[in-house]
Structure 1
Amino acid sequence: MRRKRSLSLFITAIGVACLVILGSGKHNFLQLGFLQQPPAIAQSVRISDAWQQVYQQLPDLPLENQYVNRQTGKVDPENTLVRRLISYHTYVKGRPPNYRLDWKLTLADYLGANEWIREESYPGHDTLRQNPLEGDRAAIERLSRNQRNALVQALVNVFSGVSKDNS
C-alpha cells in the first residue's frame, strides 16, 4: 500500500512538472529540445524577398553589398546586410521572424551582448570571398539606438504583413 502511494505521488509530481514546463512558455519548452520545428512564417512573405521590403521602409540603412561572390568573381549586389541578417535570424538561429523580442536578441548577437555568432555558420561565409560577419557587426554597431529600433520595427512589419502606412 505504501509503495502504491509513493508511486502515485511520484507520477503526480511528474505530471505537475510537465504542466509547469508546458505552461511556462513556448520558448522554454523548445529550449528543452521538444517540438523543434522551423519558425512559422507568413505565407505572403518570402524570406528571400523580405530584405528588399525592409530597404524600401529604411532607404538609409547600409547595404553592405560590396562583397565578391566566389563563383562569379563579381560583386553580388543582392547579398546585403539585411538579407544576411534575416538568414542568420531565421535559418541559423531558428528564431521566428514576426516578434520584436526575437529580432532584438538577434541584434544583441551582432553587438556581442547575447549569443556568439560563429563565423563558419554565418550567411555568406561559403559563397563570398570574404566572410561579411565583421563588416556586418560594424554596420550594426554604427547604427544609433533609434535606427536599430526602426530596423526591428521594419522587420516585424514585413513579416507580420503590416505596411509602413499602417504602423
Structure 2
Amino acid sequence: MIVVLDDHVIPPALAQRISPSDVWQQVYQQLPDFPKENKYVSKETGKVAENNTLASRLIRYHVYVKERTPNYRLDWKLTLADYLGANEIMYDVTYPGNDTLRENPLEGDRTAITRLNRRQRDAVVQVLTNIFNPRASTPIAPNPNTSTPKPPPSGGAELLK
C-alpha cells in the first residue's frame, strides 16, 4: 500500500504503521509539557485552529517541506537545528500553516523551540523517533548462546604469554 499525502509519497512500511497527521497527538500524550502553540486562527473558519499545533507543524515541516525521513534521530535534530537558525533557512511561504492560518506561525514556533532546553529537545527527538520507528526503541537482547570475549592482556610481560 502506497500512501500519498499532499503530493508526497510515504513509503509503504511507514504508511502501514502510522499516519504523520496522527503523530502530533501521540507527542502530546508522551510530552504533555511540549508547547502547543495552537492559538492561531483559521483563515477558513475564523476560529482558533486548536488541532494546528507546534508538534503537527514540526512534523509536516520535517516530512513534507524538508522531505526528511522520520525514522532517524539525526534527521529530527537537523530539523530542530533549522528552527534554532543553526542549519537550513526556513521560508515563510513554505512553512506549514502559512496557507491555512491568518498569521504565519513560523516565528512563534521558532521562539517556542528556542525556549526548550537541550533535555527537552532531546526528549522530543526521541519521542518522534520512537513513534515513527518503534523497533528502534526496543532494546536488542544479547544472545545467550554466544560467549563473552575475554579482555586483551593489560600489557608488558602479559603480552608474551
TM-score bucket (shorter structure): 0.7 to 0.9
Counterpart of 1:105, as a letter, is L
Counterpart of 1:59, as a letter, is P
Q: Match for residue 124 of structure 1?
A: 97
Task: Give the 4+ runs in structure 1 shifted more than 4 A.
Answer: none
Q: Which has the higher contact order (CA 8 A, sep 6+)?
A: 1
Q: Match for residue 44 of structure 2?
A: 71
State the secondary structure of the residue aligned to 2:38. coil
Counterpart of 2:75, as a letter, is D
How far has the Cα of 1:162 moved from its partner? 5.6
Counterpart of 2:113, as a letter, is I
Q: Aligned partners of 2:132 and 2:15: how far apart in 1?
A: 6
For 1:83-106, what per-residue CA distance to the aligned partner results, in whole angstroms no more than 9, with x for missing partners? Answer: 000000000000000100000000
For 1:64-118, what per-residue CA distance to the aligned partner results, in whole angstroms no more than 9, with x for missing partners? Answer: 0000000100001000000000000000000000100000000000000000001
Q: Match for residue 134 of structure 1?
A: 107
Identity %: 62
Q: Aligned partners of 1:126 and 1:95: how far apart in 2?
A: 21
Are the counterparts in 2 of residues 39 and 97 from structure 1 also a CA contact under 8 Å?
no
Structure 1's unaligned 5+ residue stretches are 1-36
Structure 2's unaligned 5+ residue stretches are 1-7, 140-161
Q: Match for residue 57 of structure 2?
A: 84
How far has the Cα of 1:39 moved from its partner? 5.6
For 1:17-58, what per-residue CA distance to the aligned partner results, in whole angstroms no more than 9, with x for missing partners? Answer: xxxxxxxxxxxxxxxxxxxx8563352210010010111110
Could you tell me the TM-score, scaled by structure 2's length? 0.76
Work out the number of aligned pairs and report it. 130
Q: Aligned partners of 2:110 and 2:23: how far apart in 1?
A: 20
Alignment of structure 1 residues 26-45 onto 2, 5 Å: 38=9, 40=11, 41-45=14-18
Q: Match for residue 95 of structure 1?
A: 68
Are the counterparts in 2 of residues 105 and 114 from structure 1 also a CA contact under 8 Å?
yes
Is structure 2 residue 22 aligned with structure 1 residue 49?
A: yes
| Cα RMSD, aligned residues only | 1.8
How far has the Cα of 1:161 moved from its partner? 2.5
Bigger helix share? 1
Match of 2:82 among 109, 112, 115: 109
